[in-house]
A and B are shown apart, each in its own frame.
Chain A
């Protein structure tokens, strides 16, 4: 008996000795996380402006975001860049009661940040300032929104800066590739257009005034505020500044339907650089797609999940062909946004990297993903969901955006359950529906003479684009 006890002791030492290094972090049990989707209910000012509040008194700061329907989607074909010049004008060209210089000086006096940007479907104004300055800030905000002056010389300055940006649009090979790819995917549709010297020159001050008039009226404005304020007081201050602004009759938004693009081709732009940009894409999804969640999870596995994605593992980790390689579906708020995959690789592995990207898409279409891959993608998306609400201003602008773009009710509340319910079949179906090589457009920017194989090997019809113009000084 004693002997047996002795043996057991030795064994247990050995067992402990053996099992200690096999302690694994994934065996750690974690306490439950308590978390609920925050509920933000908007209030509506007397003239129709919708306001979302989220008080947070940790720091004496206030952040405010205004959203208005507009953006590049409405730019006329001969005046591409109109929305961009409009917001530059509103920000930099003065108001009825303050000169352009005065606006900047007054903002800087408060150490306030004001930016106005245009994206595809909306114009966004962001204001950040000390909470104690909110009255000054709202005065300025009111003037910029209700009475922009569009001082002609400042409009000309903004135009010159846009023209210089057009001149510089070929400085980075990535920007050449993304411009050519969007053009190929969307053809002659606003989603495929970028400003040129001619379109920027064609925009008149009258165009800006007309665009301003048709975009900014109270019933179209949405405001989100977070930070150190009192909700009742702030509401009263907003009413005091905006109530006299009369609402107009609202008109439905008309969107130009998609047109045929330049599908199933490989476009080559010659640029004498040691590394090529490889980019490909096709028309993807909009937010109302019934399979939106399947598409998101499928793309996580394909190229969206960082180190956990197949493209990263196969192209970077296993072969060292690229530093950055990824794919994404830019979910269109109204019309389908693009699917895009991209990497950069040295000239002599250009074809190899491209073929690996195409193969990754083919595989995920033709074979079901592994159950573990699906599990990682679902758990990652669902367990990191809490970060969508980590910052107060993110919480309140997100609530506003979901309403602004008319997302289905309960979108956030059902997000995790919808991900969790996805099957291997759903993922493969999403890949079949959204990744089709015959509809894919490919763009290569690089030094073709140094590629390791002839482009004809790709099996795509080739189109060589003129090298980007080198503008003379």
Chain B
């Protein structure tokens, strides 16, 4: 290492944690309301805009075999209006909604034995269609979307993950009250219109993301194989038969149970004033009953005692995923794996990229990441596409050689510091956009229990020694702890 580089490293090592973490610590303003709702605000006055994130600490991991897919379907249903928005007259619409639900529930029940109930099922199909058409006379389709659009909102969307659900929008900064009014209305008074149609939409989403998509299919099979018991094994969207049989009743129950202030974190980032924002949130969300936080999950994934391996047949070129179980945050091993991820797969100088893509040229693309969530112990995943004529097997062998090297040889100080530096600077990059910062704050508040995880992160990272990395590689990168999924055409010659 030359002198300049050394000086640079010292500079980064000494200064960066202060710039990033401490700067953030001073700028986040926080309030906890009496009903348990948490508000995080960062004032930033460069552009007259704001990003608003509402994150609920409930995701697909909180489902059971009775309601798999419901967290995501519910997220879709929150786009169907409220008692005031989306309808010309809720009072007159309500009986039709009830009739639709009754017909739909009977339809779903009879479909469990289709041969016995064929004629009644056919009747109900017609009845449902007619009722839904009648209801449309009261419809103001997508009125919330329209309101947000007219007021200059962008990125009106929501995301369901294994761990949490987020509702997001960016607005001109003078629209804070509009946001508070709409979102508090959605939280309390959402009406699940067009439920049976939306189920079909979600099935189309599933076909698009998994059933026709080799990468989605590979990933879905990885999780379903690597986890034996823990609900991380199920796709967020649900299996097709799950979606097809989710009921309005279960969806409503899930909403009532989990969509409560005690489970909610709001982040507002942008050209707003903290006190005014706090008062606005108090006014619109403050009277909502607090409810109960999401309870822990009892399912404990049993220790894996041997390699799991699945070969998927699909009409696409070969690809492979290799995964190892690992602990989640805030365990020290999770920080160690952030460094391992950087060493192995982040960027063109990383070990796996250098070996597989540049030197041996066995793979065309390579990436490493942690999945599928962070509330519970998770996986370290390596994904690669072999470069013809090389095979997934050759890719695997090369990967294992590099993992063994990590366990056999101590990582050099310079390489390790390069990885730490990358994590620090990427963290800074994540602070640039209002929406990215809002996302990060609600994410860590939700999965780590405190956004200050971000502030303390760098200190913990800096204290990790090369010996600890070696120990972790030795412990986790074993064939017993491994799951391998390959995808190729049947008889594709792999």
Within the complex, the shortest CB–CB distance from B177 to chain A, in Å, comes to 5
Interface membership of A407, Cβ < 8 A = no
Please state if A307 and B425 are interface contacts (CB–CB under 8 Å): no
Given A160-B364, A171-B317, A320-B199, 15 more contacts at CB 8 Å? A25-B84, A25-B85, A25-B182, A59-B431, A111-B421, A129-B425, A130-B425, A160-B361, A168-B364, A316-B201, A320-B194, A320-B200, A379-B149, A385-B152, A387-B152
Q: Which residue of A lies closest to B8 (CB)?
A: A109
Bound together, the chains give a CA A128 to CA B173 distance in angstroms of 28
A383 with B152: in contact, given A30-B175, A109-B418, A470-B489 (CB under 8 Å)?
yes
Please state if A108 and B348 are interface contacts (CB–CB under 8 Å): yes
Chain B contacts for A216, CB-based, 8 A: none
Q: Which residue of A lies closest to B209 (CB)?
A: A323
Chain A contacts for B146, CB-based, 8 A: 307-308, 376
Please state if A386 and B152 are interface contacts (CB–CB under 8 Å): yes
22 contacts between A and B (CB under 8 A): A25-B181, A25-B185, A28-B178, A28-B181, A30-B178, A33-B48, A33-B172, A60-B19, A60-B428, A108-B418, A111-B424, A111-B425, A130-B428, A167-B388, A172-B213, A307-B156, A308-B149, A317-B194, A321-B200, A322-B204, A391-B47, A473-B388
Q: Tell me which residues from 1 to 60 in chain B have a Cβ below 8 Å from any Cβ of chain A.
A: 5, 8, 11-12, 19, 44, 46-49
Within the complex, the shortest CB–CB distance from B284 to chain A, in Å, comes to 10
Please state if B152 and A392 are interface contacts (CB–CB under 8 Å): no
Interface residues of B (CB under 8 A from A): 5, 8, 11-12, 19, 44, 46-49, 79, 83-85, 136, 141-142, 145-147, 149-154, 156, 170, 172-175, 177-178, 181-182, 185, 194, 196-205, 207-208, 211-214, 315-318, 347-349, 357-358, 361, 364, 385, 387-389, 391, 418, 421-422, 424-426, 428-429, 431-434, 489, 492-494
Interface membership of A31, Cβ < 8 A = yes
Partner of A320, one of B136, B204, B391: B204
Query: Size class of A's contact patch?
Result: 35 or more
Bound together, the chains give a CA A334 to CA B208 distance in angstroms of 34
Chain B contacts for A385, CB-based, 8 A: 152
Q: Tell me which residues from 294 to 310 in chain A have a Cβ below 8 Å from any Cβ of chain B.
A: 305-308
Q: Which residue of B lies closest to A170 (CB)?
A: B316
Please state if A275 and B204 are interface contacts (CB–CB under 8 Å): yes
Q: Of residues A59, A105, A165, A170, which shows the largest number of chain B Cβ atoms within 10 Å of its Cβ?
A: A59
Partner of A109, one of B5, B203, B387, B391: B5
Please state if B46 and A58 are interface contacts (CB–CB under 8 Å): yes
Please state if B154 and A308 are interface contacts (CB–CB under 8 Å): no
Q: Which residue of A lies closest to B82 (CB)?
A: A25
Chain B contacts for A308, CB-based, 8 A: 142, 145-146, 149
Q: Which residue of B lies closest to A379 (CB)?
A: B150
Q: Which residue of A lies closest to B206 (CB)?
A: A323
Chain B contacts for A128, CB-based, 8 A: 429
Q: Tell me which residues from 376 to 400 in chain A have a Cβ below 8 Å from any Cβ of chain B.
A: 376, 379-380, 382-387, 389-392
Bound together, the chains give a CA A345 to CA B391 distance in angstroms of 33
A391 with B11: in contact, given A164-B385, A316-B201 (CB under 8 Å)?
no
Chain B contacts for A129, CB-based, 8 A: 425
Partner of B317, one of A132, A168, A386, A389: A168
Please state if B79 and A307 are interface contacts (CB–CB under 8 Å): yes
Please state if A21 and B83 are interface contacts (CB–CB under 8 Å): yes
Within the complex, the shortest CB–CB distance from A323 to chain B, in Å, comes to 4
Within the complex, the shortest CB–CB distance from A112 to chain B, in Å, comes to 8
Q: Which residue of A lies closest to B346 (CB)?
A: A108
Closest 5 CB pairs of A and B: A383-B152, A320-B200, A473-B493, A307-B145, A111-B425
Please state if A111 and B422 are interface contacts (CB–CB under 8 Å): yes
Interface string of A302-337 (1 = CB under 8 A from B): 000111100011001111111110000000000000
